[in-house]
Structures are given as C-alpha cells and as structure tokens.
C-alpha cells in the first residue's frame, strides 16, 4: 500500500478546516440574515398594527361624530336653535370644516362654518361641491345611514388648497324624514385630530387613492434614509381610501460584531430560558388569579339571585343548590346536597306523585320550556307554591350529566292575585251599594204616597169615631187607630231619613232623652218578643243625660240591633239563669278617653244570649252584603255603623259570658255640646 505524501495530508487537513470554517461562516451568515429578516418582519408587523390602530381610530372618531350629529338634531329641532349647538360641535371637532342642515330637496335650512377656518368657501362658493353632496346623500338613502363622498380638492386663497370629504346623514323625526345633515371633513384634519400625536411621532401618515395617488400628508421624515411603508384599507360607506403609514428604515449597527453578538446570544440563552420559565410561571399565576376571580364573580351572581337554582345528577341526587333555594325551603346546603328521593322539601302526602314525575324526568322526557307549577314545604311545615323550569345539564364535552332547575316562589304572585280578587269584590260591593242607594231612594219616593194615604185614612177614621162616643170597644179601636197613625208617621220619618242618608244631606239633630228613644221602639220590640218568647230588660242609668242625635235614625239603629239579638236566640237555645231567654238594652254615661277633653258620651248596649259570632264571621261582619241570615241583605249592620259614625261615635261588638254577643255604640251627650 502506497503511503500518502505529507504535503497531501496537510492540504487535505486545510481543506477540511476550510470547509468547516466556510460552513460555520455560512451558518453565521444565515443566522445574521435570518435575524435581519426577522427584525424587518417584526418592524413591518408593528407598522401594520399601528396602521390598523390608526384606521380604527379614524373609524371610531367618525362614528362618534355621527352620534354627536344625531344628538345635535334631537336637541335642536328648529333651524333657529340649530346653529348655536352646531358651533359647539365644530369647536370640539376641528376636523369638521362645515355643518349644514338641508331639506329633502337639499335646500339649506341652517349652516355653520368652523371657527378655525371660517373663509373656507370664500374663494369658491359652496354650491360647487354640491355634486359630491348629492352623491353622498343618494348613497345615504340607499343604505339608510351615514354615507361619505370621494375626496376632492378645494382651492383657498393665495394659491393654497385643502382636501375635503362630504358626509351625508339622513334625519328622521317622529318616524318622518326630516332632511339631511351634511358634514364636511378635512382629510388632513382626520389624521391630525382623530389619531393621537404620540402615535404619529416619528412617522408619516397620508391618505391615498386606491391607485396610489396621495391626497394629503401629515408628518415629515428625515431625508436620505430608506423608508418602510404599509397600506391600510379604510372602507367607508360610499367611499374607499388607503391609509399609508411610512417609517424610516434604521440601519443595523451591530453587523461588524456578528461573532461577538452570536457568543453573547449563546451565553444569554440560558438566562433567556430562565426568563421564559419565570414568564410562564407569572402567566400561570395570572391565569389562576383570573380563574379565581371568575369563580368569585359567578358565586357572587348566584348568591345575589332571588331565583332558586338546583342541579341533580342522572340518578336524581341533588348536586348543587344556591342560597336563594336554601332560603326558600328553609334548609342549609349541607342538608340538601346528596339527598335523593324523597326530597326533604316534598309534602308527605304528595311524595308518590313527585316520585313518578321524577321518574319521567330521569327517563329523558322534556317538560315545556315555560315550566310547571308545584308545591314545596319549608322546614317549619308551611307550604308554598313554586314554578319549576328544568333543562338538561350539559358538560363541556356535550354530554348530559343531569338536570338544572330554576325555581320561582309564587307566594307573592298568589298574594297579589288574592288582593286583586278582593279589590274586584269590593268594587262589585260598591256597585251593589250604589244600586241599593238608588233603590232606597226610589222605594222611599214610592212609599211616601201610600204612607200618606194610610195616615189620612187613620185620621179620617178617628174623626168618624169622634171624641164623644163612649164604650170599651170604642176606646180600644181609637187606641189601635192612633197607633196605626203614629207608626205611619214614624215610617214616613224613617223613609225620609234613609233618603237623606243616601243623598248625604245634613239632617236635623236635637237633644233627645235616652228613655224616649227606648219608649219609641218598645211597642215594636214587645210585639216581636212576645211572639218569640223572649224577655226584654231595659235599663237606663239615673244620671244618663240626653243625647244629641237624629232621633229617627238612632231609633232605627236600636231597633235593628235588638231585632238581630232576638233572631240570634231561636227557640231551643240555652236561656239565662232565670230560665228565660232575655234581651237586655241599657244606656249609661261615659267620659272621653282623652284627658284634655270635657266631652261626655252615652254608651248604648244591646246584649243577647244567643249562639255568638264566630271568628271567621267577625272579620266580615260589617262588610256590605255579608249576612248570616238566609233572608238577610247584609246591609243592616253596615248602615248602623254609618249612622253611629256620622254622629261621631263608634259601633263595636264583643262576646258575652257565658254565651251571646253585646253590641255597643256611643252618642255625644247633649249637655256638653
């Protein structure tokens, strides 16, 4: 085997080293090239984001401007009030050069130029821009919203000019078209006013046509440096513009030290890894914090709900309840979680029905979305109606894991319905009272003539008998006819008093002895008492003063209370210790409960020994048309209370021992008025 010469081995070694160096240099060059390309790509990406942000700022500013113009139209309904508010908008939005309110035929109703460039239409009249306005308004009518025109160059004095754009906004008032609101924007003003100055610093922004023609430029760049630029499409209703953003390309100063930078990068890579680990840990902590905040927010929402929430698994066990549900049933979450059939809030008598309904639910049958009504039981045993709305509980993988229920307590709704029903009943009772008043007026009018005829006939009979005829039969006949005449006159007074009560007329009152009130009704009471076998007991205190009252109406109150007392003691009821059923009517003086009042009162009492009044009937005793008698109308006690209250007194009742009821009412004494 021939040996390789030494110079051959040396040249081959150098070749390998050279290739290795070339490979390393190539790798470093590729690394530098990739780094430069990456930096340039990042710069372009940031520039594109900045351009997108500027485009969004312009869109947002134009939208805010439209909202301000709509507010201007709502606050200034007339052309006379319009310019003042328009001036405020122009003062705060420098990008608007001119504001107009035109009618549907584009005739101007009110105009206002910007205070910063008031002579914008001094060199050429405003009508020269009317074609752009017309085109924008046609587009606005088509899309039923604000529309923009293409920009146009508007010359100014001294050879200057400005690039303008029209915006047309259709106006409506009370559903009717109310013309157009025309806003003229300066294209340069859109860049300077709507894009913050700190965002534009070190950059140049321009509006260009889609073909690249520049319309206006804002900002300046140093000369002699390469420029990077991006284009951002700004598509407005009716017009399309290109936002061009330019930035100088900064030369890299670290290119001669590529190897040093590469070594430094390799040395700092470990720190970079540690930094990335620290960043990952920080992001993880932030994610955990956000998750905790989200859970706390959801818990706060659940705790603030007044609707009960309940979740059950596929076996019917309760897996979740919110505080509103716990408060609703009066049980804690610990007492409810994990419970199954029967639930602790089910009424015992309805457990089987609820068990069958749960079986239907677990079988997968859906109930109506509007829910169904049921009844729950609180921990204290009280029942309350609920509305249950149930839906399948689906997890993140789309699998049903149970049922979610929303429970509404219907107690307040039922109470409101009951109150509404009671109000309707009161309205009906009021209508019946009004009808009863009309009937009472009609009956009193019709009865006056027969009563007058009875009185006339009785007087005629007395005149025919004459005062000179003697004999026991004649005397009794004269007495009977005299009683008929008195009762006819009394009936007439009662009818007139009822009519005055219905018509709310002021009735005549007088000082009447208490004994006279009892004497007036005594014959009628004795007649009914003898028929029913009831003893009458009338007691009037010796020092009882006269009362100031309408005599006829108070007699009717006493007569009605006494008849009610006798009807409350039917035959066969327990009697008094004396062996007879007894009705007691009494009167005695009483003083006012107020220490500063000198008013004296007389208390009347009508006591029977009947069955008494039940607690249920006592609540409705004075309600119109409520009666415990088959033939009663339910108006007697209500009218009695009305008469007593019109005299300044009060009517009340209380049980009597060992049985029966006592009705008491007070009237003012005549000697203290």
30: in domain: no
User: Mean pLDDT over residues 391-410, rounded?
Assistant: 81
Neighbouring CB atoms inside 10 A of 514's CB total 22
Residues 432 and 351: beta-carbon distance below 8 Å: no
Q: Is residue 310 part of a domain?
A: yes
Phi, psi angle pair for 339, to nearest 5° = -75, 150
> What is the CATH number for 580?
3.30.565.10
Residue 472 lies in a domain: yes
In 533-635, where does DSSP find H-type helix? 551-567, 615-619
493 and 518 assigned to the same domain: no
Q: Are strands 147-148 and 176-186 parallel, antiparallel or unpaired?
A: unpaired
Separation CA 505–CA 457 (nearest Å): 31
Do the bridges between strand 600-607 and strand 582-591 make them parallel or antiparallel, or are there none, so unpaired?
A: antiparallel
227 sits in the region (left: phi over 0; alpha: psi -120 to 50; else beta) called beta
User: For residues 648 and 645, what is the distance between their CA atoms, to the nearest angstrom?
Assistant: 5
**The pLDDT of residue 189 is above 60:** yes
- Give residue 308's pLDDT: 83
**CA contacts within 13 A on the Cβ side of 345:** 26
**Strand pairing class (204-208; 176-186):** unpaired
Same domain for 523 and 501?
Answer: no
Residues 353 and 453 in one domain: no
Each residue's pLDDT tens digit, 544-571? 999 988 888 888 888 888 888 888 887 7
Omega into 31 within 30° of 0, i.e. cis?
A: no
Name residue 307's beta-bridge partners. none
Q: Give yes or no for a cis peptide into 376 (omega within 30° of 0).
A: no
Judgement on whether residues 484 and 399 belong to the same structural domain of the protein: no
CATH (domain of 75): 3.30.450.20
Give the β-pairing of 535-540 and 582-591: parallel
Q: Pairing relation of β-strands 547-549 and 510-512?
A: antiparallel
Rounded to an integer, what distance in angstroms lies between the CA atom of residue 335 and that of residue 187? 70
* Residue 79 near residue 110 (C-beta atoms within 8 A): yes
Q: What residues form DSSP beta bridges with 321?
A: 310
pLDDT at 431 over 70: no
Q: What is the mean pLDDT of residues 568-593?
A: 73
Q: Is the pLDDT of residue 48 over 80?
A: yes
3-state secondary structure of 521: helix
pLDDT for 480-503, tens place per residue? 777 777 776 666 666 666 656 555
Output the CA torsion sign for 360, 363, 365, 370.
Answer: positive
pLDDT tens string 259-295? 446 655 665 665 566 567 667 777 887 888 888 888 8
DSSP H or E run through 539: strand 535-540
From CA 58, how far away is CA 186, in angstroms rounded?
A: 12
User: b or e along 277-316 (b: 16 or more beta carbons within 10 Å of the residue's beta carbon)?
Assistant: eeeeeeeeeeeeeeeeeeeeeeeeebeeeeebbbbbeeeb
Give helix 551-567 / helix 472-503 axis angle, nearest 10°.
Answer: 100
pLDDT of 617: 74
End of a domain among 207, 226, 248? 248
Percent of the chain with pLDDT over 70: 73
Distance separating alpha carbons of residues 231 and 207, to the nearest angstrom: 10
Res. 7: pLDDT tops 80: no
> Which string of b and e fits 236-257 if b means at least 16 CB within 10 Å?
bbbbebbbbbbbbeeeeeeeee
Alpha-carbon distances, residue 301 vs 164, 295, 330, 389, 408 (angstroms):
52, 10, 21, 19, 17
At residue 6, does pLDDT exceed 50? no
Residues 6+ apart with CB under 8 A from 53: 199
495-514 average pLDDT score: 67
| Three-state secondary structure of 266-297 | HHHHHHHHHHHHHHHHHHHHHHHHHHHHHHHH
Between 101 and 28, the higher pLDDT residue = 101
**What average pLDDT does the chain have?**
78
Q: What is the mean pLDDT of residues 26-38?
A: 63
- Other beta carbons within 10 angstroms of residue 524's beta carbon come to 15
The size of the chain, in residues, is 673
Q: Indicate if 396 and 544 belong to the same structural domain.
A: no
Burial status of residue 260 (CB atoms within 10 A of its CB: 0-12, 13-18, 19 or more): exposed
For the stretch 52-89, pLDDT in tens is 888 898 899 999 999 988 888 888 888 888 888 888 88
213 is a domain residue: yes
State whether 239 and 132 are in the same domain: yes
Answer whether residue 238 shows pLDDT above 80: yes
pLDDT of 462 above 70: no
Expressed as residue numbers, the domain containing 130 is 53-248
Cα 662 to Cα 30, 108, 565: the distances in Å are: 116, 88, 9
| Site of tokens 């705790």 | 303
Percentage with pLDDT > 90 across the chain: 7
CATH number where 498 lies: 1.10.287.130
Please tell me whether residues 178 and 215 are part of one structural domain.
yes
Residue 200 shares a structural domain with residue 109: yes
Q: How far apart are CA 29 and CA 561, in angstroms?
A: 121
Residue 1: per-residue pLDDT:
44
Q: Of the residues 230, 248, 266, which one is the last residue of a structural domain?
A: 248
Number of domains in the chain: 4
Alpha helices (H) in 76-216, listed in sequence order:
82-92, 130-143, 187-194, 197-200
Nearest-CA neighbor of 308 among 404, 224, 238?
A: 404
Res 464 pLDDT > 60: yes
What are the tokens at 299? 């818990």
Q: Does some domain include residue 11?
A: no
Check whether the bond before 388 is cis (ω within 30° of 0): no
Spatial neighbors of 390 by CB under 8 A, at least 6 apart, are 361, 367, 371, 403, 404, 405, 406
Does the pLDDT of residue 391 top 50, yes or no? yes
Choose between 474 and 169: higher pLDDT.
Answer: 169
Over the stretch 304-350, which tens digit does the pLDDT of each residue have?
Answer: 777 888 888 887 788 888 888 888 888 888 888 888 778 888 888 87
Compute the average pLDDT of residues 451-473. Answer: 66
CA distance from start to end of the chain: 159
Residue 653 main-chain phi, psi, to 5 deg = -140, 160
Q: Are residues 85 and 168 in the same domain?
A: yes
pLDDT of 182 > 90? The answer is yes
DSSP state of 157: G
Instruction: Mark whether 238 and 113 lie in a shared domain.
Output: yes
Same domain, 201 and 62: yes
- φ, ψ dihedrals at 185, nearest 5°: -105, 145
The C-alpha atoms of residue 108 and residue 100 are separated, in whole angstroms, by: 7
Residue range 439-452, pLDDT digits in tens: 655 565 556 557 66
Say whether both 499 and 521 belong to one domain. no
Closest alpha carbon to 82 in 189, 193, 179:
179
Cβ atoms of residues 246 and 204 within 8 Å: yes
Q: Could you give phi then psi for residue 232, rounded to 5 degrees?
A: -125, 125
The pLDDT value given to residue 452: 65
pLDDT of residue 259: 44
- 517 located within any domain: yes
Question: Is residue 383 in a domain?
Answer: yes
Q: Domain for residue 153, yes or no?
A: yes
For residue 605, pLDDT beyond 90: yes
């Amino acid at each position: 085997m021939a040996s390789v010469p030494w110079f051959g081995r040396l040249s081959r070694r150098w070749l390998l080293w050279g290739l290795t160096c070339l490979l390393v240099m190539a790798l470093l060059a590729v690394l530098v090239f990739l780094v430069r390309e990456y930096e340039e790509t990042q710069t372009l990406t940031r520039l594109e984001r900045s351009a997108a942000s500027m485009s969004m700022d312009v869109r947002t500013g134009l939208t805010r401007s439209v909202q301000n113009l709509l507010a201007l139209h709502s606050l200034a309904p007339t052309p006379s009030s319009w310019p003042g508010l328009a001036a405020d908008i122009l003062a705060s939005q420098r990008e608007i050069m001119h504001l107009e309110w035109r009618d549907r035929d584009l005739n101007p109703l009110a105009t206002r130029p910007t205070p910063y460039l008031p002579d914008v239409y001094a060199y050429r009249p405003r009508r020269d821009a009317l074609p752009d306005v017309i085109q924008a308004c046609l587009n606005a009518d088509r899309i039923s919203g604000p529309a923009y025109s293409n920009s146009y160059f508007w010359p100014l004095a001294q050879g200057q000019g400005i690039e303008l754009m029209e915006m047309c906004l259709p106006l409506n008032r009370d559903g009717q078209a109310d013309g157009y609101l025309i806003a003229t924007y300066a294209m340069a003003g859109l860049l300077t006013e709507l894009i913050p100055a700190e965002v534009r610093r070190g950059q140049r922004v321009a509006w260009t046509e889609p073909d690249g023609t520049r319309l206006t430029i804002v900002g300046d760049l140093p000369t002699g440096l390469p420029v990077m630029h991006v284009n951002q499409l700004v598509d407005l209703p009716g017009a399309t513009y290109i936002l061009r953003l330019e930035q100088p390309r900064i030369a890299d100063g670290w290119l001669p030290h590529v190897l040093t930078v590469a070594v430094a990068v390799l040395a700092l890579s470990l720190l970079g890894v540690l930094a990335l680990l620290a960043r990952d840990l920080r992001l993880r902590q932030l994610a955990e914090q956000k998750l905790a905040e989200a859970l706390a927010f959801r818990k706060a929402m659940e705790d603030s709900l007044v609707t009960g929430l309940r979740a059950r698994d596929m076996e019917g066990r309760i897996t979740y309840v919110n505080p509103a549900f716990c408060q609703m049933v009066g049980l804690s979450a610990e007492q409810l979680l994990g419970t199954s059939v029967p639930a602790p809030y089910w009424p015992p008598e309805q457990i089987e029905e609820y068990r069958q309904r749960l079986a239907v639910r677990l079988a997968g049958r859906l109930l109506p979305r509007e829910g169904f009504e049921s009844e729950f039981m609180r921990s204290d045993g009280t029942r309350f109606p609920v509305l249950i709305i149930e839906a399948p509980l689906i997890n993140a993988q789309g699998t049903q894991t149970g049922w979610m229920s929303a429970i509404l307590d219907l107690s307040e709704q039922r109470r409101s319905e009951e109150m509404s029903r009671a109000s309707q009943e009161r309205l009906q009772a009021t209508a019946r009272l009004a009808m009863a008043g009309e009937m009472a007026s009609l009956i009193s009018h019709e009865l006056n003539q027969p009563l007058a005829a009875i009185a006339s006939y009785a007087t005629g009979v007395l005149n025919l008998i004459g005062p000179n005829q003697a004999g026991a039969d004649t005397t009794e006949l004269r007495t009977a006819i005299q009683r008929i005449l008195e009762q006819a006159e009394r009936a007439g007074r009662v009818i007139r008093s009822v009519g005055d009560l219905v018509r709310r007329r002021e009735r005549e009152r007088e000082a009447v002895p208490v004994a006279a009130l009892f004497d007036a009704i005594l014959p009628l009471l004795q007649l009914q008492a003898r028929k029913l076998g009831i003893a009458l007991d009338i007691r009037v205190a010796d020092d009882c003063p006269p009362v100031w009252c309408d005599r006829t109406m108070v007699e009717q109150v006493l007569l009605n209370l006494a008849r009610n007392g006798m009807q409350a003691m039917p035959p066969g009821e327990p009697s008094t210790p004396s062996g007879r059923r007894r009705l007691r009517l009494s009167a005695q003086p009483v003083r006012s409960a107020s220490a500063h009042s000198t008013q004296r009162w007389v208390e009347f009492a009508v006591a029977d020994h009947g069955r008494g009044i039940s607690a249920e009937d006592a609540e409705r005793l004075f309600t119109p048309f409520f009666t415990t008698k088959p033939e009663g109308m339910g108006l007697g006690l209500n009218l009695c209370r009305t008469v007593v209250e019109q005299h300044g007194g009060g009517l009340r009742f209380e049980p009597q021992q060992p049985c029966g009821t006592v009705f008491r009412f007070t009237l003012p004494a005549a000697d203290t008025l």
